[in-house]
Amino acid sequence: LFSAPEQLAHRRYHSAADVWAAGCVLVCLATDRQRPYAYDGSTEDILWHIARGSEAGMPSVSSDCVLHSAVHGCCRFDAAQRVSAAVLARDIAMMQESNLFS
């Protein structure tokens, strides 16, 4: 469930796929869910939706702007539009400073 759309579609992928997965982890941490999607369909249904670019119901993660921005930047269908790992690391550091996950 943490695979990026390009991985599910068996296309070439690079570090942006890891950024997608990190966004999924952030959603799970923020929502205390095992699955990063609000959509309660089967795993196969969720993966089908992700691979085709439809949102599988990423839940609202928080009113925290940094967390919301980080998840939104990580989980874009187009890998070229995702944030870089460096930007994500900066956002995570800001979340740590604000004790978001304490």
Short-list 86, 78, 100, CA closest to 17: 78
pLDDT of residue 6: 94
Residues 8-59 pLDDT 10s: 989 999 999 999 999 999 988 888 888 888 777 888 888 888 888 776 566 6
What's the fold here for domain 5-97? Transferase(Phosphotransferase); domain 1 (1.10.510)
Note the pTM of the prediction, 2 decimals.
0.86
Average pLDDT, integer, range 86-100: 88
Domain limits, the chain: 5-97
SS (HEC) of 27-88: HHHHHCCCCCCCCCCCHHHHHHHHHCCCCCCCCCCCCCHHHHHHHHHHCCCCHHHCCCHHHH
